[in-house]
With several copies, the nearest count.
Chain A
Amino acid sequence: METPPSVQLDVYEGPLDLLLDLIRKQQIDIFDIPLARITQQYLDYLHRMEQLNVEIAGDFILMAATLIYIKSKMLLPPDPFASPDEQLDPRTDLVERLLEHKKFKSAAQMLQQKQILEQATWSRPDTAAFAGEPGELVVTLWDLVKVFREVLARPPEPPALEIKREEFTVAQMMDEVRELLRASDQPVSLLELCRRHPTRRGLIVLFLALLELVRLEAVVALQNELFGPVQLRKHRMFDVVFAPDTATEIDEQYQ
């Protein structure tokens, strides 16, 4: 049977989330998991992921192996020579992990509620007046490492080599941005994009292309904080702008 393209697969963050959902939906008693059934459903899910060409993370595969191992252990008769410790239900570890995982999911929800409540109050909104010099930021260790990495990544000195002029057009650059963003909804780092085009002309063309895309609302540039990295993301007009022929027209305007 061919999979219709409209079929949507649930997205689980990890194997434990998937297992919990299977258990919950079927109202299974977690202390008596029908392993054969759950393993089969778990494998079915991975199989569907495969059919949809979704990359399966290693964590999911590892859990599949664990489930199969537990299942096989349950089929064996109990070892009469094993100590009472070893005669434990082979599912025990898994149940413990699931419960532990669920526990922290609940804790996360509690935190979220606390945070929403806290957001409704204000404290010292004018702290800026007491802050240090303008342009100074409160820094943490994380900022320190981040900055060091950026410093190291900086091109040391302009190389004294003659560089052949590259003939990039704005349309080609827009194409490149489209290719980068098309595949997923993940943002792309502007810094990363700039590094691909280290020459002056490359950067100028890239900049023009981005201005154009932002103006057309095909792309949106986001920054989470002052000095924070700029990220590019698909915007609402993305598909319209990248309909065939639009890019060529734009390029003609830049010639």
Chain B
Amino acid sequence: MDRAALKALLEAIIYVSEEPITIAQLEKVLADVSKDELRGALEALLEASRAPERGVEIRQVAGGYRMYTKPEHHEAVRRFVRSQKPPLRLSLPALETLAVIAYKQPVTTPEIKAVRGVDPSSALATLLEKGLVVTAGRKQCIGRPILYRTAKEFLIRFGLKDVGELPTLEEFEELARASLGEPEPAPAAGSEPARESREEAAEPGNA
């Protein structure tokens, strides 16, 4: 392997390695390269990465080699990372609660609990914080519990024009059944009420 190819390979390995990679590890993988060659190429690689037009340098740390952005870019990089809208990540309880709200909106905490079998308060707090769910007045019944519905952010994040675009449970069943090769159509018990309530809910949401 020539020097250029060896440098390239070393750069690739350091890039993918999750932890600082040691000389010993490199020697093991590149058994056909002499130690001197390896050290020479590594030195050249580190040297090259320090050039002013490079933004990612390789440094020795904790007995190994690792890539870092340079300190002088610290500010800009941080600004960029902050400006990023990370992909929507939700815990399973939060996702479950969001699903119930999306399909049954507007809906109260006790109603969500009845469906999920678990108190949704903590998940609900997360959803409110992420702006996926908003309050929608109070239900005119004993205790006047708060109603929740999905927010505009929900539609944006899931790429929907309105909640009417949500796949119905029947449509989902069709796909799911086909993928599992289940011969029996599962009883679509819960699907009907969900659909009705959603249509009602869609009206105020669109207003």
| Chain B contact residue count (CB 8 A cutoff) | 77
Q: Known contacts A122-B81, A135-B91, A145-B166: does B99 contact A107 (CB below 8 Å)?
A: yes
Cβ–Cβ contact A157 & B95, under 8 A: no
Interchain CB contact (< 8 A) of A8 among B102, B192, B194, B201:
B201
How far, in angstroms, from A125 to B15 measured CA to CA in the complex? 8
Q: Could you mark each residue 134-147 of chain A with 1 if its beta carbon is under 8 Å from any beta carbon of chain B, else 0?
A: 01111111111111
Interchain CB contact (< 8 A) of A48 among B93, B103, B114, B205:
B205
Cβ–Cβ contact B92 & A13, under 8 A: yes
Query: Does B33 interact with chain A (Cβ within 8 Å)?
Result: no
Query: Does B118 interact with chain A (Cβ within 8 Å)?
Result: yes
How far, in angstroms, from A228 to B177 measured CA to CA in the complex? 15
Chain B residues lying within 8 Å of A255, measured Cβ to Cβ, are none
Among B95, B117, B166, B192, max chain A CB count under 10 A is at B117
Chain B residues lying within 8 Å of A109, measured Cβ to Cβ, are 95, 191-192
How far, in angstroms, from A203 to B86 measured CA to CA in the complex? 31
Among B16, B92, B116, B195, max chain A CB count under 10 A is at B92
CB proximity of A239 to chain B, nearest CB, Å: 21
Query: Does A254 interact with chain B (Cβ within 8 Å)?
Result: no
Query: Does A53 interact with chain B (Cβ within 8 Å)?
Result: no
CB proximity of B190 to chain A, nearest CB, Å: 4
Query: Does A217 interact with chain B (Cβ within 8 Å)?
Result: no
Cβ–Cβ contact A145 & B167, under 8 A: yes
Interchain CB contact (< 8 A) of B199 among A25, A98, A112:
A25
Chain A residues lying within 8 Å of B157, measured Cβ to Cβ, are 115, 118
Q: B113 — nearest CB in chain A belongs to which residue? A: A59
Cβ–Cβ contact A121 & B70, under 8 A: yes
How far, in angstroms, from A189 to B71 measured CA to CA in the complex? 37
Query: Does B173 interact with chain A (Cβ within 8 Å)?
Result: yes
How far, in angstroms, from A16 to B187 measured CA to CA in the complex? 18
Chain A residues lying within 8 Å of B42, measured Cβ to Cβ, are none
- Segment from B3-11, B23-31, B43-51, B61-69 that makes contact with A: B61-69
Chain B residues lying within 8 Å of A25, measured Cβ to Cβ, are 199, 202, 206
How far, in angstroms, from A107 to B175 measured CA to CA in the complex? 10
Cβ–Cβ contact B118 & A141, under 8 A: no
CB proximity of A129 to chain B, nearest CB, Å: 8
Cβ–Cβ contact B159 & A102, under 8 A: no
CB proximity of B35 to chain A, nearest CB, Å: 26
Query: Does A83 interact with chain B (Cβ within 8 Å)?
Result: no
Query: Does B134 interact with chain A (Cβ within 8 Å)?
Result: yes
Cβ–Cβ contact A29 & B167, under 8 A: no
Query: Does A161 interact with chain B (Cβ within 8 Å)?
Result: no
Among B83, B96, B98, B159, max chain A CB count under 10 A is at B96
Cβ–Cβ contact A144 & B176, under 8 A: no
Q: Known contacts A117-B159, A143-B95: does B71 contact A132 (CB below 8 Å)?
A: no
Cβ–Cβ contact A152 & B115, under 8 A: yes
Cβ–Cβ contact B100 & A140, under 8 A: no
CB proximity of B102 to chain A, nearest CB, Å: 6
Q: Could you mark each residue 172-207 of chain B with 1 if its beta carbon is under 8 Å from any beta carbon of chain A, else 0?
A: 110111011111111101111011001101101110
Interchain CB contact (< 8 A) of B88 among A119, A153, A189:
A119
Query: Does B147 interact with chain A (Cβ within 8 Å)?
Result: no
Can you name 6 A-B pairs with beta carbons within 8 Å?
A104-B100, A107-B169, A125-B15, A141-B167, A147-B99, A149-B176
| Interface positions of A (Cβ within 8 A of B) | 7-11, 13-17, 20-21, 23-25, 27-31, 41, 45, 48, 57, 59, 63, 97-112, 114-115, 117-128, 130-133, 135-154, 156-157, 186, 189, 192, 224-225, 227-229
